[in-house]
A and B are shown apart, each in its own frame.
Chain A
């Protein structure tokens, strides 16, 4: 009955690739809407992210299940149907970029435009050269480009045919760290202007948070969880997902002011201080590790501490984890703290107690997300 009311999602993947004597990798997630969105396939290396992306591209044949995109069936194992990559109208950016070494930058960009007239092709290539700021490099060959330039050419080549879906396999991992941070911001605003869905593979949490809208967490070939990025970080379905995400608290916040390298943020109903990493917009994700959060009895400010953040909090849950105890706190936003069993016993902590959560501004990691 619902089928008539809710429109079918833009992308619906539920497919599996089995390797003989090896693992099974599944691509099981959806993209609800057409138009701009970034879905991040996230997980440790060897978790099957790239294979899942290759299933979408049609470079791997599904052994079970189906993949549908925008009303077309791309793959249906039960009916023996497999639409080749040539017929899927997608842009694919492989991890190694795979630029054609014997062709110039212009010829690489225009490679997929063989069906256009020479004039139309030239016009489209010029457009891409301008869009990706490659105009001075058009006659060069890939071997004469830096990593960042190669990345832009590969992205431009993938966009040349105006694809309906963009697949990016670790688009920034081949670059040095400073370029990565700079390009993340550029990449997201570029993707926004294209107004098409993107599926992006990464194992870097900061990259996932900064670029993604939706998160698909993968482990050992399986999709563990799929949903809105904040939702997944807020409520990991099981401890395995939490371990993969690797940080206990991730919340959205808004910058109120930045003064002298210190940012003031509003998070939920609380206000916290963080060191300004530079390059921030207004919206950010705030990441805090459990071991960086200390807990004190009472809410009176102690004197002589370097910790900038002292937040009145209530203990909502208390779970032993080996030699540690995980405290779930409510301090205007959900905050996780890891303390030793000994400390927990000494303070006599129990559920419902009012405490003070203490953390240094330097332990609050900010990731821009505009």
Chain B
């Protein structure tokens, strides 16, 4: 088995999930509570990765990261290297690709929290941020857990975007799904089967664990 690729995939999925959580909590809260008229535009953009072929998303990302785009040039002048075919580029692509898998469960969970509880907290002197931490987040734990698990699992399994943006550089951008593809292309079925079985087992365990945990309702944690 290609342990290097497995390690890289796990690391990528972890960083992607953490980035998505940091980005997703405020964005999902905004989507769940805002009454702006153009909110639907943001919702549509967030959901795009669900319907776009990964190659299309990958193509545009590649263009946006390339040396001919202002973003690509700015990145190069800041960090001294280019984004395409690097781990950082892969991380950026994964965050965008898995965005709906984090945002949608979070937004649904936040929207399901009774507005009366939020208002009661405000009237007890708690700010919007503290109300989020003390009431909304604890009551949305199942949605947050779902978002984390889905983002992690989805990143672990991505293929098309990785191929377009990251290429296939061992130790830098070769993820586990690419490794399996390579092994099959090389008619090297035995390691491909082992790696595939590992991915299957891990995915099944993680999802089983998540849904089992979700069944145990009403035992939420508190942030503060």
Residues of chain A whose beta carbon lies under 8 Å from any beta carbon of chain B: 57, 59, 84-86, 88-92, 94, 96, 98-103, 111-112, 114-115, 141, 143, 157-158, 160-161
Contacts and interface: CB of A to CB of B under 8 A. Distances in A.
B41 to A, nearest CB: 21
B144 to A, nearest CB: 14
A114 B126 contact: yes
B124 to A, nearest CB: 3
Size category, B interface: 20 to 34
Given A101-B139, A114-B130, A85 B123 contact: yes
B124 A98 contact: no
Given A98-B114, A141-B218, 18 more contacts: A57-B119, A57-B123, A59-B122, A59-B123, A85-B122, A86-B123, A86-B126, A92-B120, A94-B119, A94-B120, A100-B117, A100-B120, A102-B222, A103-B222, A111-B121, A112-B125, A143-B218, A157-B120
Q: Would you call the interface of chain B mostly helix, strand, loop, or mixed?
A: helix
Contacts of B125: 86, 89, 112, 114-115, 161
A98 B117 contact: yes
B119 A112 contact: no
B135 interface: yes
Nearest to A59: B119
Interface in B85-142: 114, 116-117, 119-127, 130, 134-135, 138-139
A99 B114 CA distance: 10
A45 B130 CA distance: 34
Q: Would you call the interface of chain A mostly helix, strand, loop, or mixed?
A: loop
B53 interface: no
Interface string B134-160: 110011000000000000000000000
Given A102-B139, A102-B220, A157 B124 contact: yes
Contacts of B139: 101-102
A92 B121 contact: no
Contacts of B135: 100
28 contacts: A57-B119, A59-B122, A59-B123, A85-B119, A86-B122, A86-B123, A86-B126, A86-B127, A92-B119, A92-B120, A98-B116, A98-B117, A98-B120, A99-B120, A100-B117, A101-B139, A101-B218, A102-B138, A102-B222, A103-B222, A111-B124, A111-B126, A111-B134, A114-B125, A114-B126, A115-B125, A143-B218, A157-B120
Contacts of A89: 125
A106 B58 CA distance: 53
A73 B128 CA distance: 22
In order of increasing CB-CB distance, the 8 nearest A-B pairs are A112-B124, A98-B116, A92-B123, A98-B120, A85-B122, A85-B123, A102-B220, A86-B125
